[in-house]
Amino acid sequence: MEPRDRGFTLIEMLIVVVILGFLAAIAIPRYMRAREKSYIATVTSDLKNLATQQEIYQSDHQVYAATISDLTNYTVSAGVTVSVNEATGTGWAATATHAGFAGGQCGIYYGGASAANGTPAAQPGAVTCQN
């Protein structure tokens, strides 16, 4: 009796490749959604921290900070860009984006600031995001 060659047949290899492709087709979109949610969470956190720092600044100076650089204890997360669009003695508005959240923007406004300067924010003090 001749020894039989051991190994995988072409059919077995094709089945494995098809299964791996199917698993990748399911996993990649879920991974991308999870990553986008993490970017939104980072931007939301930065805007909430900005709100806290703005209140501290306002209690010290009786006006809200017009730029991020005016806030000495505020640090923006990596990849996040925050812009203060309006700041007066009665309110402020800001928007933020993340480099990985293409086309998306989060906004917040507070007090007498114009909601348009905090777009897409719909309520004062609440961070709202859109993509």
What residues does each domain of the chain span? 10-130
Nearest CA to 55 out of 20, 31, 90 is that of 90
- Residue 50's pLDDT is what? 96
Task: Please state, in angstroms and as integers, the Cα–Cα distance from residue 25 to each residue in 12, 28, 61, 101, 123, following that order.
Answer: 20, 6, 55, 21, 39
Chain segment 15-74, per-residue pLDDT in tens: 999 999 999 999 999 999 999 999 999 999 999 999 999 999 999 999 999 999 999 999
DSSP state of 25: H
